[in-house]
Chain A
């Protein structure tokens, strides 16, 4: 029996891509059934209950936009979020599972393999934005399992890009800035790459910023222009036209990467208008979005500088939006001292890196180190991967220990953004009252990569009470240790002087219910 295929999957907000190693151990992207190298991450729910994924699903935006689900990755791991199609509620994990199932079935097809009757379809590594927290990562893993995949690992998109990039180019240790502007998320990461190690130095970004926001700006432009020709008429209020306009917006955006103007006809509310958008108008309407990415890039460069990286040897542009000339220009203008930003196979590099990683992990877990080494071009072993956290973790303590006010609390940070993971810091805290027998431990996570000590700015992950402290005057020590695993899950232990102990685990929000997780997926259709 042949081994299960080993795949790397870039599950993107707008496009997904699958890669694997071929018989010559070269990494290549597997085309889908339409022969395209990337598949739109779009699902169309038919009346019959069947579903369609990809290009044809996206095309249904023109006919039945209400039955088409897109941009689901933006809601992965979001507490209480479901999409509503046909009065059925679907969890983001389910929609992602459908996409994964389809792209993997297509990949099997290209590899000439049957879809097995039972058991996992493939061993896969799925990528996520570096900015994803524990909940989003768990949701991605669950989606993979619901699609019938053996999820070997979840790795960061920029890391995958660096693996794919790092292994095709050689040389000594280099600092690489990866600017990944995709369809839904923006990541900027600084990575040190050498033959023995890929080390993430600093990372930042915004997972609500991506090509879709550029598309939305174009939709606004289109609506303004439509209203100029038909005063008082807003095409968005024509729900049947919304999907076509969304498609048109993306098409316009892509065209404006190459051309100076784009024109098309919009029909909405029973009226038609010929709309022309120039590149200048487009760039003006979206300049602030690019500006945001520049700010994030500055911040991350700052973090990297704090960690001693003051030279960038390579500046990689990843993600489909990087095709846009305005991005490259904005970066070159803002960072004249950095190397010229280079487009690095922006649509496929992430999937390729995932495939390399997957091949290596699987070979390694089979106990066959020689295949693992052979699994990579050049016969080199995969470098060790060192990651960082994008968020901070800490516990609530009194603001001023002399005032002993139990209600005036601030966060004491044990783990800071861009600390290496796994991170296992510990710190000693003290009781504030005499004869204090109990202490509340509340654990907080920062919401961004900037830290604030105020409780309200942060997210409470979990809390618990450690009782039976030894009696004594104020100032009894209490040791708190954190353990942040590579999978982004935090374990907390607090130990009192007398050995009393409490262990907490940060709960993951936004999980898909067990019964939904076990329910079969709807039938896929082409």
Chain B
């Protein structure tokens, strides 16, 4: 009994998850194998290694596949380390050293507190990239642990709390709790308040006003039933403030407030409350409530000095330091006011100087008066402005204004349209209306505040160019189209200076062109000016040429393969080839170049069914079982060249199961006729495949189905190597048409049987017997596991030359892995070797 037990939960939490998240298992092998650091019992280590090792391939840990793979990978090395006492010791000291370091880190984080809350433990584990348990161990090292803080009431600041605090300070009470203890404490009621109010009426002092207001606030809380919450909020925020100074302070404050805490139901154990408060301070960042000091600071930062002064004036009982500040602030404000008055005076004589003065004051004081004053002090307009037309756009320039104070820029507008603002002396009107006189206004801006007047330009007229001009070369003409710009009344088109006659307001066609030649066209927009005269824009130039002409396909071949049409052709140099199924009843179109549109009217395109390459297509026709004409069309841009059509006939499909049998001097051909066919052609050639049914080099024979059925087909050919082809034949419109050619080869071959057997019982030798009077040359080939496919596919065990003895022995070498497949091949092409018992040709044992 080693006492070691596998703990699945611990394995998941402390090993699998951390490893999956990137922890290196070799940093602590004790942890990985769930072993204590001080383990010494070899047995325990072995058990742990085996048991944990087995977990790595368990399917229930499928969510941690990466982790288990990593762990499996390091298992061998880990075993070596853990099983060797010396290496285990070294590893332990490394692990422990790391742990001591972690303990030190935790000590810093603790600030003498009695623990860390669970969320913080998890957060530390994340940031330090160690498992939770390591953090817990490090805490333990410091004599503390994970500790959940008690819940604190989380209360929002009560309404008018800041005001109440102010009054309490004036009344020299530390807290509301303190003040109320003079009334009814936590049990204060309306009656207590009324009594106190009565009292105040008879004995008025400087504090009475403050206290009456406070009583009114308390009454409000009482009526709403949240007086207790207000008190809870008060004590918790007090403790939080103290906790900011450290855990010790929090404990001291909590102890001092122990009664209050108990009475308010926050907690009976002041240290527990102190810990909770400390945790809250330390680990949750809550925005602190602004106090009047902060409001004051904020106002000063924003230069709202008048507001800052008001805040100070509103504070009852300002401490000395603050009274001094108030006096300083008052003095500063009166200086600034005097300066503002001086500037106002100056506005009448020197606006720029006044503005500069206002700007100076504004650096120290934010005040509406300054803004209004600045708006009053408008800058002078630029003395002059000028507009010129350049490339269809208008460039506006002007001379600088005399204004200097503030940021000076200029705004340029055309009528109601603002074109832009600029500090430089130029603005471009990118899209001015054409054919009408335009004037531009330039205003000076000081910090965005415009001059009262503007400088105006002399009128200019823009003659805009036509828009979206497109010039395209067709097959026999060049045409162009464009949009006229607003204000234009037409266009003038010239080609190399000469006017193109066939021109309309937004199109032209030029028929006087030669294919392949390039022409320049200039299109100018025409305008009628207000004075009645005509004007032309400079014009836009485009180049165009007549289109290149596509070349038709002349060698399309198509045939049926079951339901699919398979077509091939030589791809033309340019353009895409489409195959059209000619509309039934139409004559095939003449090969000529027409528009794509026209070409496609001849039929529907053949839909491809698989991926096809250039020059090939496998597709489906829309109708089946008919004779159809396929027209190849080369599409290039707008033009299409109609090629030489090809006729296919679904009935003209291939013959199947073509078979050749040599019977002496003749070869008998058998095949299956596709349904509906009545005639076929047989072609043959020596050594070469016939090129087609009409190959002039091949011999041929036409045969009808009736003839085939009664006599069969036998062809006399001398011994040798022949290719035979058979295709269906049909007379269409007086011409013979053929189906695809099925091809087979016939070499005068003969079949020779052979067998391979053990040479004798228990013999390690094997015997090859070839049953023939004139045995051919033979090789015996062996291969592990699979049948050899040809004489080169495996190890040659035996080679017998032609004409030698028909029976030979050989050995199957031991290095060939069993089972070994044996097979004999003939060295003579004309002889085929067939095994007598194929199943006897597998060597399983020795």
Question: Which positions in A face B, CB cutoff 8 Å?
Answer: 65-70, 81-85, 141, 151-153, 168-171, 174, 216, 219, 231-232, 234-237, 239, 241-243, 245-246, 313-314, 342, 344, 361, 364-367, 370, 374, 378-379, 422, 485-487, 489, 491, 503, 505
Contacts and interface: CB of A to CB of B under 8 A. Distances in A.
B424 interface: no
A171 B616 contact: yes
Contacts of B613: 169, 171, 174, 313-314
B63 A84 contact: no
Nearest to A368: B834
Nearest to B66: A216
Nearest to B813: A503
A169 B63 contact: no
Nearest to A25: B656
A78 B656 CA distance: 49
Nearest to A343: B611
4 residue pairs, one from A and one from B, having the closest CB atoms = A66-B60, A242-B63, A236-B63, A367-B834
Contacts of A487: 784-786
Contacts of A342: 611
Contact of B122 (A69, A83, A232, A237): A232
B615 A171 contact: yes
B17 A65 contact: no
Contact of A65 (B62, B66, B612, B654): B62
Contacts of A344: 611
A169 to B, nearest CB: 6
A164 to B, nearest CB: 11
B59 A236 contact: no
Contact of B817 (A361, A370, A489): A489
A82 B54 CA distance: 9
Given A169-B612, A314-B613, A365-B838, A153 B62 contact: no
A344 B610 CA distance: 9
Interface in B696-739: none
Contacts of A152: 786-787
Given A242-B60, A243-B62, 13 more contacts: A65-B59, A68-B59, A84-B55, A141-B785, A216-B66, A236-B17, A239-B12, A242-B63, A342-B611, A374-B657, A379-B658, A487-B785, A505-B817
A314 B58 contact: no
15 contacts: A65-B60, A68-B62, A85-B58, A169-B611, A169-B612, A169-B618, A216-B66, A239-B63, A242-B63, A342-B611, A344-B611, A378-B561, A379-B656, A379-B658, A491-B815
Contacts of A367: 834-835, 838
B787 A365 contact: yes
Interface string B609-624: 0111101101000000
A84 B611 CA distance: 46
Contacts of B659: 370
Contact of B59 (A66, A151, A485): A66
A168 B610 contact: yes
A241 B60 CA distance: 10
A70 B122 CA distance: 34
A364 B832 CA distance: 13
Contacts of B783: 485
Contacts of A378: 561
B765 to A, nearest CB: 20
A139 to B, nearest CB: 13
Contacts of A422: 793
Interface of A is mostly: mixed
B610 A489 contact: no
A83 B786 contact: no
A65 B615 CA distance: 54
Contacts of B568: 171
B616 A84 contact: no
Contacts of B16: 236-237
- Max count, chain B CB within 10 A of own CB: residue among A82, A85, A245, A365: A365
Interface residues on B, range: 35 or more
B789 interface: yes
A364 B821 CA distance: 14
A491 B615 CA distance: 46
A241 B64 CA distance: 12
A314 B611 contact: yes
Interface in B565-620: 566, 568, 610-613, 615-616, 618
Contacts of B438: none
Nearest to B64: A236
Interface in B769-794: 783-787, 789, 793
Contacts of A366: 838
Contacts of B784: 485, 487, 489
B233 interface: no
Contacts of B658: 379
A505 B815 contact: yes
A217 to B, nearest CB: 11
Contact of B815 (A85, A237, A503): A503
A216 B656 CA distance: 52
A486 B54 CA distance: 36
B80 to A, nearest CB: 16
B783 to A, nearest CB: 8
A132 to B, nearest CB: 15
A322 to B, nearest CB: 14
Given A171-B616, A503-B815, A239 B61 contact: yes
Contacts of B165: none
A274 B59 CA distance: 26
B678 interface: no
B826 to A, nearest CB: 12
B65 interface: yes
Nearest to A219: B63
A84 B17 contact: no
Contact of A66 (B58, B612, B615, B834): B58
A249 B595 CA distance: 54
Interface string B24-51: 0000000000000000000000000000
B105 interface: no
Contacts of A374: 657
Nearest to A68: B59
A456 B65 CA distance: 27
A8 to B, nearest CB: 15
Nearest to B59: A66
A237 B834 contact: no
A384 to B, nearest CB: 9
B742 interface: yes
Nearest to B786: A153
Contacts of B63: 219, 235-236, 239, 241-242, 245-246
A219 B20 CA distance: 12
A245 B62 CA distance: 10
Given A84-B58, A153-B786, A170 B566 contact: yes
B518 interface: no
Contacts of B834: 367
A216 B65 contact: yes
B57 interface: yes
Interface string B797-816: 00000000000000000010
Contacts of A491: 815
Given A153-B786, A219-B63, A83 B13 contact: no
Given A232-B122, A503-B815, A82 B57 contact: yes
- Max count, chain B CB within 10 A of own CB: residue among A65, A168, A236, A367: A236
Nearest to A215: B65
B657 A83 contact: no
Interface in B807-846: 815, 817, 834-835, 838
Contacts of B20: 236
Contact of A84 (B59, B615, B835): B59
Contacts of A361: 787, 789
A414 to B, nearest CB: 18
A486 B613 CA distance: 32
Contacts of A67: 59
B742 A379 contact: yes
Contacts of A314: 611, 613
